[in-house]
Amino acid sequence: MERMEPVEFGDAPTPGGDADRPVLVTGGTGTLGRRVVRRLLEEERAVRVLSRRPRPAGDREPYDWATGDLSTGEGIDAAVAGVGTIVHCATTVGRGDVAATRRLVDAARRSGGEPHLVYISIVGIDRVPFVYYRAKSAAERIVEGAGLPWSVLRATQFHDLIAGIVDAQRMLPVALAFGGVCFQPVDAGEVADRLAALAVGGPAGRVPDMGGPQVRDHRELTRTTLRARGRRRPVLPLRLPGAVFRAFREGGHLAPDRAVGRVTYDEYLAARTPTGG
Ligand SMILES: NC(=O)c1ccc[n+]([C@@H]2O[C@H](COP(=O)([O-])OP(=O)(O)OC[C@H]3O[C@@H](n4cnc5c(N)ncnc54)[C@H](OP(=O)(O)O)[C@@H]3O)[C@@H](O)[C@H]2O)c1
């Protein structure tokens, strides 16, 4: 695959943002969100993390902590109070993100502070009829129609997800991979860079998609992961019927013309596996 010229991650279109008010990061404890929090702190922005859990004892990081639940609405008005930007990285299973996003947006509107909504979405959600992707599409529409300033970035699957699928099968004598499906994994840290730039830079609307540097067959990615982990087992292709997997096989979730991520999957594995790649 030919590699595109990488984009600058700090190239948000309208400089500005709201430097005096904190940035709320929902899902600030998750794979992506905790990296966004780190980037924003490096930019010396005031950050508030939303989590369902209380702040861990001994956490001395220089952010505020809001305990709240987007599935019930508990604590959400307090979490959004006074913020200038909300980076929405929290996600629930299935279709839960629709109601969760609506609760967040309603609270943001009630706050009266007109915060900038920055939402992370997924490449191809309108091409692959997966129930989670349908929820992401609906959540995008809620963000875009909220009457608040907004930015939406779609990314391909994170390296962590590809590795996680393999690691979740560690007790099995074989490893299953989606037959005929390719992925274009991207580094969550690079996506976090882009989101943090959008949060600092002001509303940009729907920005260009962000894909990883390589499109690779899932069986081959699975073998690579097993090798890096020092595990030996056969990789069996799982060929699933139905429209969802047909769309995945057709590459509806890929963005080969937006292969702007720089960190390859092999580099990601090597950085996290003591035995290297
Ligand atoms: N993973 C990928 O490959 C990928 C690719 C493209 C886009 N995305 C998108 O990126 C976003 C982040 O994904 P991720 O992989 O970083 O997720 P993740 O690691 O699973 O983290 C999920 C986060 O959501 C929070 N959360 C869950 N339920 C919540 C609730 N009811 N109320 C408040 N917070 C709640 C969790 O916080 P607590 O547990 O602390 O409450 C956690 O911080 C998602 O929107 C996802 O669709 C992911």
Q: Is 27 in the pocket of ligand 1 (CB under 6 A)?
A: yes
Of 252, 254, 250, 220, residue with least CA distance to 237: 220
Do residues 149 and 117 lie in contact, with contact meaning Cβ atoms separated by under 8 Å? Answer: yes
Q: What tens digit of pLDDT does each residue of 165-207 get?
A: 999 999 999 999 999 999 999 999 999 999 999 999 999 999 9
Report if residue 226 sits inside a domain.
no
Ligand 1 pocket mutation pick from 26, 39, 89, 162 by most atoms within 8 angstroms of CB: 89
Q: Is 33 in the pocket of ligand 1 (CB under 6 A)?
A: yes
Cα 90 to ligand 1 centre (Å)? 4
List C-alpha distances in Å: 95 to 75, 141, 258.
21, 14, 27
| Domain hosting residue 194, numbered range | 23-156+188-206
Report if residue 129 sits inside a domain.
yes
Count of domains observed in the chain: 1
Q: Which sign, positive or negative, has the C-alpha torsion 250, 256, 260, 261?
A: positive
CA distance 17 to 97: 26
Cα 29 to ligand 1 centre (Å)? 8
CA distance 26 to 37: 10
Alpha helical stretches, state H, 87-187: 96-111, 131-144, 159-167
Query: Of ligand 1's atoms, which has the minimum distance to the CA of residue 100?
Result: 31
Cα 2 to ligand 1 centre (Å)? 31
What CATH number does residue 117 fall under? 3.40.50.720
Report if residue 87 sits inside a domain.
yes
Q: What tens digit of pLDDT does each residue of 56-102 get?
A: 999 999 999 999 999 999 999 999 999 999 999 999 987 899 999 99
Q: What tens digit of pLDDT does each residue of 132-151 get?
A: 999 999 999 999 999 999 99
Ligand 1 pocket mutation pick from 32, 102, 265 by most atoms within 8 angstroms of CB: 32
Cα 158 to ligand 1 centre (Å)? 12
Tokens 């799982």 correspond to what residue? Answer: 238
Q: Is the pLDDT of residue 4 over 50?
A: no
Query: Of ligand 1's atoms, which has the minimum distance to the CA of residue 72?
Result: 31
Report if residue 105 sits inside a domain.
yes
Q: Which two tokens stand for residue 36?
A: 């966004």
Report if residue 76 sits inside a domain.
yes
Tokens 């019927």 correspond to what residue? Answer: 241
Coil, helix or strand at residue 119: strand
Distance of CA 57 to the CA centre of its chain: 27
CA angle 188, 192, 196 (to 5 degrees): 175
Report if residue 149 sits inside a domain.
yes
CB environment 46-61: b (16+ within 10 A), e (fewer): bbbbbbeeeeeeeeee
Report if residue 49 sits inside a domain.
yes
Q: Which two tokens stand for residue 152?
A: 């939406």
Listing DSSP states for 260-271 in one string gives: -----HHHHHHH
CA distance 194 to 164: 23
Cα 212 to ligand 1 centre (Å)? 19
Ligand 1 pocket mutation pick from 74, 91, 136 by most atoms within 8 angstroms of CB: 91
Report if residue 233 sits inside a domain.
no
Given this model, what pLDDT does residue 1 score? 37
